[in-house]
Amino acid sequence: MLVFGLGKGTNAAKQLMNHGVGSANVVAPKYHELVEYAGDHHGQDKLGGGRVPYDILDDSHVPILKQASVVLVFHVEHYEVVGGYVNFTATIDKRFAQENLLEDPNQIGHELDTLHYFGIDHDLVKRAIEAE
C-alpha cells in the first residue's frame, strides 16, 4: 500500500484522478537536478522535452525514469480532496530496483541515499537523509 498527498491543482494529482495509475520513482541525490527541474516546472510536460530520460511501461502506460534506483508502479484505490490537497491510497502492482541493489541488498543503505522534498505551495525545502 502507498499513501501520499499532492496539491489539488498539480498536473500529477489531475492525472492520477483521471487515469488511476502512476509510478513513484526514487532517485539518488546525484540526480537532484532532475528532481528540482520537475518540481520547478509546474503544469508543464516534463517528459516530452527530452531532459528527463524515461521509458513507458507497456502494460500500464506509466513513465519509468531511467535514473531511478527504485520504481513502484501503482493503481489508485481511493482519493479524497481535502482543502487544497488530494490524499491518495494506492496499491503497488510492480516493483523495480537497479540490478546492483538486488545483487547486494546490504548496499541499499549506501546506494539508495534518497532525496526528500517537503513542499509548501511552490516553495521546496530539500534535505538528503544520510545513510546509516
Query: Which grid cell sits at 56?
Result: 513507458
User: Cα-Cα-Cα-Cα dihedral of 126, 54, 56, 43, to 10°?
Assistant: 50
Instruction: With beta carbons less than 8 A apart as the criterion, state whether 66 and 25 touch.
Output: no
Predicted pLDDT at 45: 60
* Model pLDDT for residues 10-65, shown as the tens digit of each residue: 888 999 999 999 999 888 777 777 666 666 656 666 666 666 778 888 888 888 88
Q: Hey, what CATH topology would domain 2-128 get? A: Pnp Oxidase; Chain A (2.30.110)
* Model pLDDT for residues 71-122, shown as the tens digit of each residue: 899 999 999 999 999 999 999 999 888 877 777 666 555 555 554 444 444 4
Query: Which grid cell sits at 29?
Result: 541525490
Q: What is the CA radius of gyration of the chain?
A: 15
Predicted pLDDT at 131: 43
